[in-house]
Structure 1
């Protein structure tokens, strides 16, 4: 299946897994829950960001921090939620958010793509079982921006500045 493109409807039935948390103790584990993205994204402007892996050098140093730092700018452009996905399980994604001091009630959510394999079905796959590095803007169920970085270790079109420029 080809990746979602600008103008495409966000598909029905997309479910990620996450472990919501109330405090920043990275050793505390919540219970993983389903997150029905198709339903949760309705009527909202969402930035969906895919990374190859939590805690990996490029993702930790180059990709995630600018999204955290510029969350207010994203909100100012009408973004309701930023969802960061990777092939890691829900507990690892939760711990990644905590280690980066992102509160559990933040507009940035950390989710696992292992359950639905969204990247393999609708987006850009990475290497093997890892997600690719890409970003989409979904506005009220319609893809308004979608692009993937193709050079390993680089963050350009999937980075927050590229997304902000398209909002």
Structure 2
């Protein structure tokens, strides 16, 4: 079953990428009591993710914050070391918090998995964006396979 608008997020362990190394965090605590945007990508350093998706949220971070968003998160089914290296390569700074879902805890619990086995990529997070308010999904837009439209920073600005 795929998570939907109005649902409460699952409480799972994620890993936040930090310059000092991975930090385990409970999703319930991470998203409690605030409004956040979470966008997911199939993988760090992959073409659409690096050329369009992450850079769009970096460049629009101030506009998103101006709409009442407390924090922007980028989730990928990579480990926290890869997520930190990607953040460094893309000069993310403090604009986006990088979350690793290397065990697919969040991805499996939300039903937002993309099966790329046979293409050398395994199982990954689908490309999507969600707006979360105090652990409740208030907006969810999931991309069709290979597409990049409804989960962009520009698209989420239109619904905030």
TM-score by length of 2: 0.90
Q: How do 1:1-167 and structure 2 match up within 5 A?
A: 2-11=1-10, 13-21=11-19, 30-103=20-93, 106-127=94-115, 128-152=122-146, 154-167=147-160
Checking the alignment, whether the CA contact within 8 Å between 1:136 and 1:146 is kept in structure 2 is yes
Distance, in Å, in 2 between the alignment partners of 1:15 and 1:107 is 22
The alignment yields a C-alpha RMSD, in angstroms, of 1.4
Partner of residue 24, structure 1: none
| Structure 1 runs not aligned, ≥5 long | 22-29
Q: Number of aligned pairs?
A: 154
Of stretches 117-126 and 68-77 in structure 1, the one that deviates more from structure 2 is: 117-126
Checking the alignment, whether the CA contact within 8 Å between 1:46 and 1:80 is kept in structure 2 is yes
Q: CA deviation at 1:107?
A: 4.2
Distance, in Å, in 2 between the alignment partners of 1:31 and 1:68 is 22
| Structure 2 runs not aligned, ≥5 long | 116-121
Checking the alignment, whether the CA contact within 8 Å between 1:17 and 1:115 is kept in structure 2 is no
Distance, in Å, in 1 between the alignment partners of 2:34 and 2:16 is 19
